[in-house]
Amino acid sequence: MNSNNPNEFLKDPSFLMVLLATLAKKNGGSIEFTEEDLLKVDQSDLLGLFHVPEKEGTFAVKVLTPSEYATAQQTARQYAETVPGDDEGWEN
Domain boundaries, the chain: 1-32, 42-92
AA identity, residue 68 = E
pLDDT given for residue 10 in this prediction: 61
In angstroms, the CA 92 to CA 87 distance is: 12
Q: Residues 18-44: what's their mean pLDDT? A: 93
pTM: 0.59
Cβ-based neighbours of 91, under 8 Å, separated by 6 or more: 7, 10, 48, 49, 50
Tell me the per-residue pLDDT of 6-19, one tens digit each, with 9 for 90 and over.
Answer: 456 667 778 888 88
pLDDT of residue 29: 96
Q: Are 63 and 46 in contact (CB under 8 A)?
A: yes
